[in-house]
Amino acid sequence: MKQYPSYDKVNDEHKWDLESILEGKSFEYWLDKYVSIFKDLIEIKDSKYESIESFIAGLKLNEQMEIVDNKLHNYISNKTNINLTDPQPQEMALKFDSANEELNKEYGSEINRFFKNADKLKLWVNDERLKSYRKMINDTLDSFNHKLSNDVEEYLNEVAFGEPNLEDVFNILTDAELRYDDVLDSKNKKHKLDPISYSKMLKSDDALLRKNAVLQYRKAKLQHKESLANMLVQTFKNISVNAKVRKYKDSINMLTYEDKVSDEILLKLFENIASLKDDISKYWKHYKKYYEAHFKEKFRILYDSNRDIFKVKNKYSVEEAKEIVYNALLPFGTEYSDTIKQAYREKWVDFMSVKNKLSGAYSIGNTYGINKKYILMNFDGELNSVETLAHELGHSMHSYFSDKNNDITNASYPIFLAEIASIFNESMLYDYLIEKSSSKIEKFTIYSHIISGFFGTTVTQAKWANYEYELYKKVDANEVAPNYEEVAKIYYETLKKYYKKPRKFKKEEQIAAVTIPHFYMGFYVYKYAIGQLVANYFYNQYKLKGKEFLDKYINNFLSAGNSDYPLNTLKSMGVDLTSDEFYKKGFEHFHKCLNEWIKLGDEIFAKSKAKK
């Protein structure tokens, strides 16, 4: 599907309606309103702590400002993302940022004022009038145990501006400064290598091109292996020092503290994902068999794993994708499906790929006070785009139910739960597509897609999280030298248990140990693995219990927002992350898909062999 040269060339029905954020008023109107409310907050910043009534009035005023802030941020960022070169939203952002900078200087440190009045807040917190704020207040009071003195906190805030940001250095090095050699194919033709062309080369029909692409891509990163290792260890050391001075048990404890996730939960995840090694080995054994039968060439796991055995040439229009996704999600009930119709009708989704538009896809955050839970896409007509629509609608519907059933303080669901609804929607989509398909090859391809998604989201993320976990523990104990060989060995030794027959250690093959951007973003990739397992568990429960479970899912999960801690929200759905039984049920969908894939593969290739 074509990329449009400019946004004005896109059909209106395929654009989102951002102007409704402003409710018929101008950007300047909302900016003035924001400034006015902020000034009112500045005026009462100290006096609001004089009585519980004043404190509640301050909270209500802050909520008003937060809604206006949501409108301004979403209007500016989404307007920017449809044309990254458009100066108008950049000018809006500058005005908004400048206003915020001045106002924040006047406002000063709210957290210091909060802790100064901690004794009052401990008395007030159980008042019924503060019921909806209780979790937020208790969480903030609890964080006092890890706060440094006001002078030290102020010093850290001031010097933070001059601190080196190693994540930025990593991104510059890996995104802009890696130099890739050209890649030769079997006809001695040169191909330019970069991250985008690399993905395409891995699916090429040219075996030598695939191998050379892998080797040259790895070589470019290996040239900087010592710098990358040093930066990663230093990043972990910075977190480790922070955890120690703030009196956390260790780095992992600090990074999982907000979600109240214990080491027991993490170790249970690693242990159970590692237990799948026989199933993963079984998959690759059959993939190799089907690959060699189809392509008539030897399978090489390092170079050929991304190649599609079959290319199902289905092309979907936007309207077809919308209809398929709508029908796939009908089991969620009337309100859910009516809201999807509303999303289509009221133009929540910006579909098309346009020059200078942000790549990828997302559903907006900070949605409270915004009726439309907007989605940005780059629709290309492939099955992946249909999946993306279902996935992003999962996020948007989660936001819709969270906002509808909670006040603003408790509406925004935590990242820990964020991927569950979207992955559940993917399962519903594939269930629908498989049911409607009459082609064995198409079903085989869909099952391949599901299994690959499980490996990428659950298995790989759990392995990476396990490596991060071990590296943090060793850094906390001061047992890691900042060099590539040592880090590569930790990576290899940690991941060995996930393979039935681990490859021999070759340090050049461990380059992922220092090149994954997520490692610079705190300890969070384990949440993706848990998210998919919970989504699989939900799908399994839906297949067993039908509408009864889906009603519970909407009422107890989608509508929960941030009203409770994520582990408690999951417990209300019957999920216990410390239980082997949860993992058993979470793996059932994967096992079913794997067995169906093998059954179809054996039938397809037996038939193909018989024809000869």
User: Domain 7-161 class?
Assistant: mainly alpha
Domain locations along the chain: 7-161
Q: How far is CA 398 from CA 392, 395, 563, in A?
A: 10, 5, 14
Torsion of CA 205, 206, 207, 209, to 10 degrees: -130
Q: How far is CA 152 from CA 70, 93, 160, 235, 246, in A?
A: 32, 32, 12, 21, 11
pLDDT of residue 292: 97
pLDDT score of 612 more than 60 = no
**Spatial separation of the C-alpha atoms in residues 391 and 376, rounded to whole Å:** 12
Mean pLDDT over each residue of the chain, to the nearest integer: 95
Total residues belonging to the chain:
612
Which residues are known catalytic residues? 392
Query: What do you get for the CA distance between the two ends of the chain, in Å?
Result: 37
CB count, 10 Å around CB of 520? 17
**Spatial separation of the C-alpha atoms in residues 18 and 349, rounded to whole Å:** 10
**Helix/strand/coil percentages in the chain, nearest 5:** 70, 5, 25
The torsion angles phi and psi of 19, rounded to 5 degrees, stand at: -65, -25
Per-residue pLDDT tens digits for 470-509? 999 999 999 999 999 999 999 999 999 999 999 999 999 9
pLDDT of residue 163: 81
Report the pLDDT averaged over residues 32-52: 98
**Spatial separation of the C-alpha atoms in residues 345 and 342, rounded to whole Å:** 5
Helices H / strands E in the chain, number of each: 27, 5
> Which helix (H) or strand (E) covers residue 351, if one does?
strand 349-352
pLDDT of residue 611: 58
pLDDT of residue 2: 78
Ranking 66-75, 146-155, 280-289, 511-520 by mean pLDDT, the lowest is 146-155
Helix axes 420-436, 318-328, angle to 10 degrees: 100
pLDDT of residue 610: 58
- The structure tokens 């005005």 sit at 95
**Spatial separation of the C-alpha atoms in residues 274 and 461, rounded to whole Å:** 12
Per-residue pLDDT tens digits for 215-254? 999 999 999 999 999 999 999 999 999 999 999 999 999 9
> Which percentage of the chain shows pLDDT scores above 90?
91
Paired residues of 191 in beta bridges: 183
DSSP class of residue 130? G
Report the pLDDT averaged over residues 333-344: 98
Report the pLDDT averaged over residues 401-416: 96
609 confidence band (pLDDT: 50, 70, 90): low
pLDDT score of 196 more than 90 = no
> Which residues have C-beta within 8 Å of that of residue 302, sequence separation ≥ 6?
211, 214, 509
Helix axes 263-274, 580-611, angle to 10 degrees: 20
**Spatial separation of the C-alpha atoms in residues 198 and 146, rounded to whole Å:** 45
Q: Would the pTM of this model clear 0.85, i.e. be above it? A: yes
Token readout for 385 is 């785009």
Higher pLDDT, 159 or 108: 108
> Which residues have C-beta within 8 Å of that of residue 311, sequence separation ≥ 6?
none
314 confidence band (pLDDT: 50, 70, 90): confident
